[in-house]
Amino acid sequence: MDYRRGVVTGESVWRAIVLYGANSATYKFAFGAALLEVAATGRNHVTLEELAPPYAALLCEALQRQPRQGTAARSRFLDACRAFNTGELDRDTLHRRTVQLGFSNVIDAFPKLGGDQAPLSFYEDERKNSAAPGLVLRDELLELAASVQAQDLGAETAARWRLVETAWATGISDGVLGPSLDYDRDQQALVLQSKQRRQNVTGVVPALSGYQDGRCAYCNELMTQTVGTGPIVEHVLPYKLLTRVWDGPNVDAIWNLVLACWFCNSAKRDRAPHETWMPWLEVRNNDLIESRHPLREVLMAQTGATAAERHEFLKRAYRRATELLPAVWTPPIAGYRA
Ligand SMILES: [Zn+2]
């Protein structure tokens, strides 16, 4: 992804914060979504009283979906959200509690990446400014909220949120449960398969698009939902292998899925990409692993615990695939763009 290659733009820093930053609670997802919502109106100043309703609403909704929204044993703020959900707290009281308790860490923590301040900031903390307390939204955030990618960034945040809460809920992050996020082709979703049921966790498109910076895996063109050229979920080693006598790894899994534009998808058809393109997939899979739970555990289980093992895994799978289906397709950009 761009940020990890040293590209600093509003989009790349935002994605790094949402997709890679530390996760001890899901506040930052709610906070990011609420910020984008306010910034989309073009305002450059917001008070905590104004941010509280959308922020709290997202967390209340999340708690109904999944009771565990943090790693801490207790949170007074989340308790207030729970009390609202059960009808013990009215809306006004929830919003007051949110202003008092809900922002104490997230405003400082959101712009941090690996413990350091991100190279670009989206707001200035003016909570102590008695004349106009609140947050000053910087141009970087306003431009992001107005960009063609804004909708995708919102969807990526929601997808990352579902993945993180699922990791906590299932014990994937603690290694308690074997990682079992399967790809469901009909729903284009990652699903959690347990003994009791099959549960849709999140769509594959929003789960993967941030790691490709919203661009086609093969031609690097920007794909947005609004333009209508994609993204399409694409099997790198063709799905057709599964209809042959295939003794390689399951190609219908996230390690082998990328997002491509309509043009590349229809040009590639049932062929593997030229082998010079394959390092792109290796880098992408390592990026997914760096995003930590639960994709880290899932990818490692599918392709190997170390970078060297994963390199060998891909090489072997590619060799077998092209023995069976020898025709390959050369993407418009061969090899990873450094
Ligand atoms: Zn393309």
**Are 58 and 104 in a shared domain?**
yes
The whole-angstrom separation of Cα 171 and Cα 165 is 10
Q: What pLDDT shows up at residue 168?
A: 83
Helices 139-146 and 150-170, interaxial angle, to 10°? 90
Distance 174 CA to ligand 1 centre (A): 37
The whole-angstrom separation of Cα 170 and Cα 86 is 24
**Are 177 and 299 in a shared domain?**
yes
Distance 256 CA to ligand 1 centre (A): 17
**Are 124 and 178 in a shared domain?**
no
DSSP codes, 31-64: HHHHHHHHHTTT-SEE-HHHHHHHHHHHHHHHHH
Domain that holds residue 47: 3-146
The sign of the CA dihedral 48, 52, 53, 55 is positive
The whole-angstrom separation of Cα 207 and Cα 141 is 22
Q: What pLDDT shows up at residue 89?
A: 97
Q: What is the mean pLDDT of the chain?
A: 90
**Are 77 and 196 in a shared domain?**
no
The sign of the CA dihedral 166, 282, 308, 242 is positive
Cα dihedral 179, 183, 187, 191 in deg (nearest 10): -10
Q: What pLDDT shows up at residue 176?
A: 52
E strands, the chain, are 45-46, 112-113, 116-117, 123-126, 134-137, 181-184, 189-193, 198-203, 232-235, 257-260, 272-273, 328-329
164 inside domain: no
Distance 99 CA to ligand 1 centre (A): 45
Distance 220 CA to ligand 1 centre (A): 6
236 inside domain: yes
| Residue 11: count of CB within 10 angstroms of its CB | 22
Name the domain boundary from 131, 146, 161: 146
157 inside domain: no
Q: Which two tokens stand for residue 244?
A: 């042959």
C-alpha triplet 230, 208, 161: angle, nearest 5°: 125
**Are 242 and 288 in a shared domain?**
yes
Bridge-based pairing state of the strands 328-329 and 272-273: parallel
**Are 134 and 33 in a shared domain?**
yes
Nearest to 236 by CA among 278, 198, 208: 278
**Are 236 and 324 in a shared domain?**
yes
161 inside domain: no
305 inside domain: yes
Q: Is the ipTM of this complex over 0.90?
A: yes
Per-residue pLDDT of the chain (338 residues; tens, 9 = 90+): 788 788 899 999 999 999 886 677 889 999 999 999 999 999 999 999 999 999 999 999 999 999 989 888 889 999 999 999 999 999 999 999 999 999 988 999 999 888 889 999 999 999 999 899 999 999 999 999 999 888 889 999 999 999 999 888 876 655 555 557 889 999 999 998 777 778 888 999 999 999 999 999 999 988 866 556 779 999 999 999 988 888 999 999 999 999 999 899 999 999 999 999 999 999 999 999 988 778 888 899 899 999 999 999 999 999 999 999 999 999 987 444 43
155 inside domain: no
324 inside domain: yes
Distance 142 CA to ligand 1 centre (A): 29
- From the number of C-beta atoms within 10 Å of its C-beta (0-12, 13-18, 19+), residue 159 rates as buried
Residue 98: DSSP 8-state:
I
H helical segments located in 291-338: 295-303, 307-324
**Residue showing tokens 């109904």:** 64
What amino acid is encoded at 225 in this protein?
A: Q
Cα dihedral 226, 18, 63, 188 in deg (nearest 10): 50
Distance 46 CA to ligand 1 centre (A): 39
Please list the residues that pair with 181 across neighbouring strands: 192
Whether 106 contacts 4, CB under 8 Å: no
Q: What total number of domains does the chain contain?
A: 2
Q: Which two tokens stand for residue 335?
A: 């090899």
Distance 155 CA to ligand 1 centre (A): 21
Residue 274: DSSP 8-state:
P
Distance 264 CA to ligand 1 centre (A): 4
Nearest to 137 by CA among 149, 148, 125, 127: 125
**Are 122 and 220 in a shared domain?**
no
The whole-angstrom separation of Cα 150 and Cα 143 is 9
Task: State pLDDT tens for residues 20-66.
Answer: 866 778 899 999 999 999 999 999 999 999 999 999 999 999 999 99
Q: What pLDDT shows up at residue 213?
A: 92
Q: What pLDDT shows up at residue 157?
A: 94
Task: State pLDDT tens for residues 70-119.
Answer: 888 889 999 999 999 999 999 999 999 999 999 988 999 999 888 889 99
Q: What pLDDT shows up at residue 338?
A: 38
**Are 121 and 179 in a shared domain?**
no
Distance 277 CA to ligand 1 centre (A): 13
260 inside domain: yes
Distance 205 CA to ligand 1 centre (A): 15
DSSP codes, 134-200: EEEEPHHHHHHHHSTTHHHHHHHHHHHHHHHHHHHHHTTTTTSS---EEEETTTTEEEEE-SS-EEE
Q: Is 13 helix (H, G, I), strand (E, B) or coil?
A: helix
- Tell me how far the alpha carbon of residue 43 is from its chain's centroid: 26
Cα dihedral 133, 134, 138, 140 in deg (nearest 10): 170
Q: What pLDDT shows up at residue 22?
A: 65
